[in-house]
A and B are shown apart, each in its own frame.
Chain A
Amino acid sequence: MSNVQNDARKIFEGLRIIDFSWVGVGPMAAQTFALFGAEVIRVESSKSLDIFRIGGPLAPGDGPDRSAYWANINRDKKAMTLDLKHPNASEVVKRLVSDADIVTESFRPGVMRSAGFDYDSLSQENPELIMISMSMEGQGGPHAGFKGFGLTLQATAGITGLTGWPDRAPVGTGVAYTDWFSTHLAVTSLIAALEHRDLTGEGQYIDLSQLEAMIWGLDDAVLRFTAGEQVMSADGNRDPNACPHGVFKCLGDDEWIAISIFSDSQWLSFRKFLGDPDWAMKSDYLTFEGRKENEDDLDRLITNWTIEKDPEKLAEEMQELGVPAYKVADAKALYDDPQLDFRDHFWEIEHKVIGPMTWDSPAYKLSGTPAYPKEPAPLLGEHTKFICTELLGYSEEEFTELLISGVLD
């Protein structure tokens, strides 16, 4: 057994993942394993490209390797092209899977089965195989084939309805939010399956419905409804346990500061910071209940004060007094953020087509075996030959035959 002390890349060393997944959740889940040393083989079709390969932002030029969105979530993988619908595909897939530990896929339910690549078929000669399907709403059921993506699925799951102002239509998060949540539950289930395999020697199949996974991110909303007939709804930026608790306009174009006061002593610190102005001295404001009753007034008064201030400077000064506050960070502010910089969040890795670029890194920092940057995302089919001849055991001649047959498109 290799000793992983001090090298994150040894944690999943020897683990092979065949990554048939596409778009967001599957590729991100597989990348998590790749960052910690798993050998992840991303299998793609050049005819039916992963939509993230054509989604922006795109580097100038032509071709399927320009998307920084795609490249951000497929790092440290090897990539091959394979036409799963080709009659010769099953022989290649069989070889891919025979030595694999994990197979990932995120097609519409039924696609893998109709191609002959469902778990029962794939695990026949490899009973230790773990396979996960990550679909919108799960493999079975009347909506199994329903279409969507993270932006619309967040609506089905309840997130959109819980994001908005009480006097307006709900808005949702503005990103394909369910992707960014269910990915981590997919990884969790896969590591759990590895643990199960350690205990029993057997593999298994995981059916992850991104809808069902997302419902775990709704706090206690379900139980409040089922056990208390209480219906949670969108409430702007307010919080039942804090006041003031909101986002206030600052000096500059679309500049804002978030402030949350959870205790009476934080209120006093805040008031002191304001310089104990007349408008803040009402005795009602000394208690949470009193502030909550006057929340509209307080929000207006605080805005009158923040609107001439710089949010970054304001947050720095307030935090020194223990008042929770932060500038509402846009993309630029995140790159300039001293704390994210300290944590080395944005990794710099040069991509063969995109060039020098920064990429996201895990929010969990392991003190002994921290993740570190290594390879950029592969080009489409970059390792097709290497995978076929070095990993799958095809001879040069056999590889040429595969190329001619069109199965490797």
Chain B
Amino acid sequence: MISKKGPLQNYRIIDLTDRYGVLGTRILAGLGAEVIRIEPPGGDPMRKFGPPLENEGNSFFWFQMNAAKKSVVLDLKNTTGCDSLWALLKSADVLVESGFKSSLETKGFDWVNLSASCPQLIYTTITPFGAEGPRSHWSGGDLVAMAAGGLMYLCGDQDRAPLRVSVEQASAQSSVQAVVGTLIALRARKKGASGQRVDVSMQEAITNTLGNSQATYAMTGVISKRAGGGRASAEGGARLVWPCADGYVAFSRSPRAIPLIHQWMLDEGLNPKFSPQPISGLTGAGSAPSPELNPTEAKLVQEIDQEIEEFFKRFSKMELYEEGQRRGTMMCPVSTIPNLFENKQLIDREFFIDVEHSEKASSYTYPGAPFRMSKSIWKSGPSAPSIGQHNEEILGSL
């Protein structure tokens, strides 16, 4: 039987995250933990972060990141509010806070006091550089963490500045890695450990995303470089992004793929000029860095690329995706957000899910479960709480 409560149903989590950590508590709420967002009177600033969902009074971001959570308003500027928070923390399993400066420390909620008063409590913090160390007082958000953690150096065109991702990946990475650290601390507690501090650094979370770049430098002394729409590597990488009729596809022009494209062109009644025979120095984007191509080989590759590019322009990205995959190539669409809703796989698996916004009697479409557990539910709703919606329920029972 599938429990309606979720596998983390017995955990109470106090949520004081900002944009850099809020995805983490959303995931814990999805797994059934009781996640209580503490808001100041007037509401959490996150309610106004980013463009608003029309007529709903709060931002898209707020709704996306706070579904399945509860809301309690506490004025931490006065002692009554702080006393209530202390009482809540004594009843809680986890406190998660994110952001550059702890809003709690100045009010006496530092780890020394927290661990003394709430020995069961796991205190997870997400900060740009970690809780201690020579640069723990440095500030930064997503961009700075992407730069400091090393992923930015591997992103972008070689003739321009390194790039971040326009949806915040230092925040996303810190959030999911904080979830794992928090869950491990909960497992430790089950085995007899007391509560503890889980100290997550956004910089370090990004340093854990660099593929083989660090190992390459450690072993060979060569620094991997960004390679446009290709794999960052010591040699400049291999091409991955190709234009097509309605945008772009990601395609690994590997030695194995060349004869497949050649055949595809023949089947379309075209007469490809390039040979399907392997080029000795050429490797795919995912395999080991290719040795330098000799000038003849480089010219061959250039000619093949030109023909492939012309060929791809005859099709839409979804056509290339379906047919390219059918023919055994690693072809993927460079999806725009609307493309996600044309993806036959996501449609067939009913990934996106409607969540009712009860106050307005309307519903909106959200991402569904990030993984599918056969015996445990994922909580897609209820939609994000109104300000202080659960004051009575939570504070009344303390």
Contacts and interface: CB of A to CB of B under 8 A. Distances in A.
A68 B349 contact: no
Interface in B327-344: 328-341, 343-344
A147 interface: yes
A162 B371 contact: no
Interface stretch (B81-89, B216-224, B267-275, B387-395): B216-224
Contacts of B63: 220, 223, 227
Contacts, number: 568
Contact of A156 (B31, B186, B333): B333
Given A175-B210, A236-B163, A143 B141 contact: no
B261 interface: no
A233 B183 CA distance: 34
B345 A365 contact: no
A345 B207 contact: yes
A57 to B, nearest CB: 4
Given A163-B156, A260-B144, 11 more contacts: A148-B330, A158-B167, A196-B375, A209-B371, A223-B60, A230-B51, A256-B161, A260-B141, A333-B150, A339-B130, A343-B133
A6 B346 CA distance: 44
A220 B337 CA distance: 11
B199 A367 contact: yes
Given A326-B144, A337-B148, A141 B231 contact: no
Closest 8 CB pairs of A and B: A364-B181, A174-B232, A155-B250, A342-B133, A258-B147, A331-B217, A368-B196, A68-B215
Nearest to B224: A331
A369 B151 contact: no
Interface string A1-43: 1111100101111000000000000000000100010000000
24 contacts: A4-B192, A54-B287, A56-B212, A161-B248, A175-B154, A180-B211, A185-B27, A185-B370, A188-B183, A212-B351, A212-B367, A217-B172, A219-B64, A226-B366, A227-B365, A228-B53, A236-B163, A239-B141, A242-B143, A331-B213, A332-B217, A338-B135, A364-B198, A365-B131
A222 B287 contact: no
Interface residues of B, number: 169
Interface in A322-378: 322-335, 337-340, 342-343, 345-346, 354, 357-358, 360, 362-369
A158 B340 contact: yes
A202 B3 CA distance: 12
B165 interface: yes
Contacts of A98: none
B92 interface: no
Interface string A226-259: 1110111111110111100111110000101110
Nearest to B221: A332
B169 interface: yes
B163 to A, nearest CB: 6
Interface string A105-121: 00000000000000100
B376 A196 contact: yes
Given A54-B288, A219-B167, A330 B223 contact: yes
B65 interface: yes
A149 interface: yes
Contacts of B243: 169
Contacts of A360: 207-208, 214
B194 A151 contact: no
A288 interface: no
